[in-house]
Structure 1
Amino acid sequence: MALKGLKDLHYAVIQTESDESTTYDTPKPLGPAIAFNLQPAVNRANLRADDKVLFSDSNKGPTAVTLNTAYLEKEVEADLLGKTVNSNGTISDNASDKAPYVAVGGRAENARGGYDYFWIYRIQFAPAEENMNTKEETPTYQTRNLAGEAIPRLDDGEEKIRAWSEDESITDTAIFDEWFDSVINKDWVAQV
């Protein structure tokens, strides 16, 4: 799949999760998208005997996630990282901050036309590395990358969902109109 863009990033904090269900808060805009990268980890092992590989197996590990936006509003940063927005308008880091699990969704323009839509269901971010440099003759921007890990949901093992807006097998295209109204699941049906 050839993609040529990224926009409309949204996030939804997981409100409750158990072995039976996962519920999300209403999705909110995340910030102007620069990059959203997913790097799955697959661990492989081979059993060798008689000078050959007899068996091979693999297990999937957590997916490394990197998120870069032009900026994050303080309320979004607080939601993603478990920080506190103080009554005087400042945002502070505290030793007891605990980042919640969140879903992240968005869309990317597909080279074949239309958009690829996605939701990653369960990500936990860590505070970003911050770098600041003095101005030079050629302007450069410094933006922060949030790093985290995506792991399967507890109730059904689902990790992500995606859909191409030009896929003719998707008969109810209202899914794309509602993509950011709630976190889309595999059993989605249009709201009546």
Structure 2
Amino acid sequence: MKIKTVISFIVFFMFFLVIAYFQPIFFSDEPKEEQINLNDMTQKKQESDHLATTGGALYIGKESLPNKSWAREADEVKVKKGKISLVELSEKEAPLTPFQLGQTLGEIGEKINFKTNISLRLKGKLYNLELSDGEMNYSPVVKFKNGAFAILNFSKQNGKLTSVIYLSVEELVQLKRYMIIEVEK
């Protein structure tokens, strides 16, 4: 009788240890990370090469910002040869149209086609910008009709848009943030 009791105790003890071990795996309080396959998303939509020029993209290539209050909303403004070449915005009041801080990649992806390969022409040379899966999930690039680009920065913790960097093709190439291949000279 004692041996049966000891064996029963060991079996129940092992059973509860297994349950206690697997409980955090199956019943986690943390939200599951939303992974979005942008390649599937872009195939479902009709392709459009460029976005309408709005937000900070309007000022790339211009000689000045519209007013001083707008300049205060910018985290960084870079001017080259008397023209604005980069504007970084991360304030709620900043003109980020068509984007909004706090949006997820999925929400923006419903309206915009993201591409993994973007062709660039700079000083007579053709370049091909290639984005990795990680770059597509956390810092995709979009092109505007006026030739400006935007890098959308998403938080790795919550997947929400934290800032937008509007920049010229020269700044994008010089930034060396993405793999850029010279196609033709």
TM-score w.r.t. the length of structure 2 is 0.27
More strand by share: 1
More helix by share: 2
TM-score w.r.t. the length of structure 1 is 0.26
